Structure 1
Amino acid sequence: MALIIRSYTPADADAVQAMLMPVFRAGDTYSIDTDISAPAALAYWTGAGRRVFVANADAVALGTYYITRNQGGGGAHVCNCGFVTDAAARGRGVARAMLDHAVSTARDMGFRAMQFNFVVSTNTRAIAIWQGAGFDIVGRLPGAFRHPDHGYVDALVMYRDLTAE
């Protein structure tokens, strides 16, 4: 699979919405209202201040991510990202490739660190990918996420210094 990660364009809107909606509707990894409309989901993902990317193979969108400042002012040197992989592409290295791209892009944009503010503790696949890429769990928010199947579960704060290497 030759994966190409490129900047989002408005022509990607339908494909990105098609990836976002099942994830947001499931309500088990993002703290987004499960009844969000497709236009609102796209507006959230592509909102002001976010650079959005799409991962494609054979002209088919397999994943998307955004990168943005985590905070303003004195915290503007730390970025935050969101990732979604199409269900049919999971387990094929798409998320890891997007993360590698995000780390490189973040460095190019001048960010000194990357932080994930709210990683649901039951999202073990994502946690393993992030930890494998050098992210540390630096905080745990007990019971901060209401999972549709598991009830109240922890949310993790994960962090990676981008100045090393």
Structure 2
Amino acid sequence: MLIRKATPGDWPAIWPFFHSVVKAGETFTYPLDLGEEEARSWWLVSEPGRAVVAVDSAGAVLGTAKMNRNHMGNGSHVASASYMVDPAHSGRGVGRALCEYSLDWAGTAGYRAMQFNAVVETNTRAVRLYRSLGFEVIGTLPQGFHHPTAGYVGLHIMHKAL
């Protein structure tokens, strides 16, 4: 697996799984009816942020991540990131590789920490992955997310010092 900077030419491979993940409404706080153009502008961030794709040896996109400042001004020393793995490739280490890449990117870029603002507590695979990489839940917004089958569940704020 190779992780490289995403290009506009990668979007046609990202959009189908991006759209299905968002529309399922289980893991992201994005609007369920998020349109393609708006999604592209939210995900393919410009510098100093970065969007990347994980690709296999044939160049097929397996997943994607975006990394950015969590806040501006005096809070701009904390990074954030989001990850999406094509469900057809889940459970193969793509999410871990993308998360490790983003942590390396943030450290190299001089960020002092990484914070995830909205990790859905029922997304247990993601929570377990982030904890295994040293993130801690520093707070939970009770009933902060309306899950389509589990009802109102918590949103974790997760943090890792770099």
Q: TM-score range by the shorter chain?
A: over 0.9
1:52 deviates by 0.2
CA distance in 1, matches of 2:34, 2:74: 32
- 2:156 matched to which residue of 1? 156
- 1:41 matched to which residue of 2? 39
CA distance in 2, matches of 1:76, 1:120: 24
- 1:144 matched to which residue of 2? 144
CA distance in 2, matches of 1:74, 1:19: 35
- 2:53 matched to which residue of 1? 54
1:18 deviates by 1.8
Kindly report which structure 2 residues correspond to 1:11-90, keeping only aligned pairs within 5 A, or say none: 11-49=9-47, 50-57=49-56, 58-90=58-90
Kindly report which structure 2 residues correspond to 1:57-136, keeping only aligned pairs within 5 A, or say none: 57=56, 58-136=58-136
Would the aligned equivalents of 2:45 and 2:51 in 1 still touch at CA under 8 Å? no
Letter in 2 for 1:54: V
Would the aligned equivalents of 1:63 and 1:95 in 2 still touch at CA under 8 Å? yes
CA distance in 2, matches of 1:103, 1:47: 17
1:47 deviates by 3.6
Q: Please, which moves more after superposition, 119-128 or 44-53?
A: 44-53
Number of aligned residue pairs = 160
Q: Percent identity, aligned pairs only?
A: 38
User: Deviation string for 1:72-98 (max 9, x for gaps)?
Assistant: 111111000010000111000000011
Kindly report which structure 2 residues correspond to 1:4-15, keeping only aligned pairs within 5 A, or say none: 4-15=2-13
Would the aligned equivalents of 2:113 and 2:161 in 1 still touch at CA under 8 Å? yes
User: Deviation string for 1:92-119 (max 9, x for gaps)?
Assistant: 0000011111111111111110000000
Would the aligned equivalents of 1:16 and 1:42 in 2 still touch at CA under 8 Å? no
1:48 deviates by 4.5
Unaligned runs of 5+ in 2: none
Unaligned runs of 5+ in 1: none
1:143 deviates by 0.4
SS for the counterpart of 2:53 is strand
